[in-house]
Amino acid sequence: MKIILLGPPGAGKGTIAKVLTGYDGSVQISTGDILRAAVAEGTELGKQAEAVMKAGDLVSDDLIMGIMEQRLKQDDCKVGYLLDGFPRTIPQAEALKLLLGKMGEKLDCALELDIPTDVIIDRLATRRTCTQCGAIYNVKSKPPKVEGICDVCGGDIVQRDDETEEAVLNRLQVYSEQTAPLIGFYRDEGLLLTVQGSDGNQVLEALKTRLK
């Protein structure tokens, strides 16, 4: 499967991606994860992206396309991929279309997770992430066994810099202004599938029906 996951921050794209990769071995490619790793390693890319990410704004299209051109050409992508957090703007979607055309590939589906905004805000404000392995927790619905310590790897669990209330509200605004127009873009391309909610099994069933 070659799939784009669309939906606001906190819609559950990462969680759904894990369910779908488990189904057919496609790889999950998260531009947010790639950027966070670059920030943690202090690479040139990380230095360029850090302040922008902290404020909840978008990293430049050129920088993102540079990352994705390299990533999509790697061998593991041959099985299929789930793009999580990319594309995020119309210019990125157009550049992706050109790139895939050159590679002789095309997308199977753009899967939109439709979640009410109040659910998103609550979810992001209560979400916590392991600094080492990236496991996701929630202080209300999925706390770790020992406060502040990851059940999986023993790493520290923190609130991401861009999940403070101010950054969350900015990310949602950036989403509605710059990313939501992709829903129309992919509808026009005949690729859009919208699913209400973020239950992994329901999403997988909807996708299987669509791709039959």
Task: Give contact residues for ligand AMP (rule: CB under 6 A).
Answer: 9, 31-32, 35, 52-53, 56-59, 64, 85-88, 92, 162, 171
Least spacing, CB of residue 131 vs ligand AMP, in Å: 14
Q: Residue 180 corresponds to which amino acid?
A: A
Residue tagged active-site, from 13, 36, 123, 128? 13
**Set 36, 123, 127, 128: catalytic member:** 127
In the complex with ligand AMP, which residue's Cβ is closer, 12 or 87? 87
How far is it, in rounded angstroms, from Cα 60 to Cα 140?
Answer: 34
Residues contacting residue 42 through CB under 8 Å, at least 6 positions apart: none
Selection from 167, 210, 186 nearest residue 7 by Cα: 186
Report residue 147: phi and psi, to 5°.
-55, 130
- Catalytic residue check, 36: no
Nearest Cα to Cα of residue 8 among 116, 108, 93, 92:
116
Which residue among 36, 88, 123, 128 is the active-site one?
Answer: 88
Residue 184's identity, in one-letter code, is G
Alpha-carbon torsion (191, 196, 202, 203), positive or negative: positive
Min dist. Cβ of residue 76 to ligand AMP (A): 19
Closer residue to ligand AMP (CB): 9 or 12: 9
Question: Least distance in Å: CB of 87 to ligand AMP?
Answer: 6
Nearest distance from C-beta of residue 175 to ligand AMP, angstroms: 9
Q: Which is nearer to ligand AMP, 164 or 210 (CB)?
A: 164
* Residue number of the CB atom closest to ligand AMP: 32
**Residue 210 is a catalytic residue:** no
Which of 36, 123, 128, 171 is catalytic? The answer is 171
Name the catalytic one among 2, 18, 54, 160: 160
Q: How far is the CB of 208 from ligand AMP (least distance, A)?
A: 25
Residue pair 157/149 in contact by the 8 Å Cβ criterion: yes
Q: What are the start-end ranges of the H helices in 25-164?
A: 31-41, 44-55, 61-72, 90-103, 117-125
Between 113 and 147, CB nearer to ligand AMP: 113
Point out which residues pair with 4 in neighbouring strands.
Answer: 83, 110
The nearer residue to ligand AMP, 90 or 204, going by C-beta atoms, is: 90
**Single-letter code of the amino acid located at 155:** G
Is position 171 annotated as part of the catalytic site?
yes
Which active-site residues does the annotation give? 13, 88, 127, 160, 171
